[in-house]
Amino acid sequence: MSDVLKLSKMNGMDAMDGEPRPHNLTIRTRRNAEYDVVEVRISDSGKGIAKGALTSIFDAFVTTKPQGTGLGLPIARTILESYGGDIWAENRQRGAVFSFTLPLTRMQAE
Ligand SMILES: Nc1ncnc2c1ncn2[C@@H]1O[C@H](COP(=O)(O)OP(=O)(O)OP(=O)(O)O)[C@@H](O)[C@H]1O
Ligand SMILES: [Mg+2]
C-alpha cells in the first residue's frame, strides 16, 4: 500500500512542477464507519487532469509525460482492487485529488 501512496505523491509533485506557488500536497486519511472503509485522499495544487481524462488515466500506458510509463495508476488500481478497494480522480479548484478506499474488514478469500 505504501507503493500506492508513493506513486500518488510522485504524480502530485510532477503535476506541480513549473506551476505557480504555493505548492501543496496534502494526504488525509479517515475512517468511514458507514461503509466500513478507510479513505485516503491525496490532493495537490498542480495543473489538474485534462478534461475527459479522469477515467482514462487509469488505463495502461496513458501518460502526458515525456519519460512517463503510464503504468503508475493502473498498477495502483490493480493493487487496491485486489484488496477490495477502489481509486478515483477528481479535479479541484486548483489541482487534482486522488481518493482511494480500502475495506476495514478483511474479505473472505474466494
Ligand atoms: N496529480 C495529478 N495531477 C494531474 N495529472 C495527473 C496526476 N496524476 C496523474 N496524472 C495524469 O495521469 C497520467 C498517468 O499517470 P501514471 O502515474 O499512470 O503514469 P505517469 O505518471 O505518466 O508515468 P510514471 O508513473 O511512469 O512516471 C499522467 O501522465 C498525468 O497526465
Ligand atoms: Mg506516475
CATH code (residue 43): 3.30.565.10
Q: Is 109 a member of any domain?
A: no
Q: Is 94 a member of any domain?
A: yes
Mean pLDDT (whole number) for 36-41: 96
Tens-digit pLDDT profile for residues 1-10? 789 999 999 9
Q: How far is the CA of 105 from the centre of ligand 1 (A)?
A: 30
Q: Is 110 a member of any domain?
A: no
Q: Is 50 a member of any domain?
A: yes
Does 73 contact ligand 1 (Cβ within 6 A)?
yes
Name which residue sits closest to atom 19 of ligand 1, judged by CA.
70
Tens-digit pLDDT profile for residues 57-81? 999 999 999 999 999 999 999 999 9
Does 49 contact ligand 1 (Cβ within 6 A)?
yes
Q: Please tell me the total count of domains within the chain.
A: 1
Domain around 91: 2-103
Q: Is 44 a member of any domain?
A: yes
Q: Work out the number of other CB atoms within 10 angstroms of the CB of residue 21.
A: 7
Q: Which residues pair with 91 in a beta bridge?
A: 96
Return all residues near 16 (Cβ < 8 A) that are at least 6 apart.
23, 25, 44, 45, 46, 47, 95
Sheet of strand 96-103: strand arrangement: 25-32, 37-44, 96-103, 86-91
Residue 108 has pLDDT above 70, yes or no: no
State the angle between helix axes of 2-16 and 72-82 in degrees (0 to 180), rounded to the nearest 10: 150
pLDDT at residue 109, rounded to an integer: 62
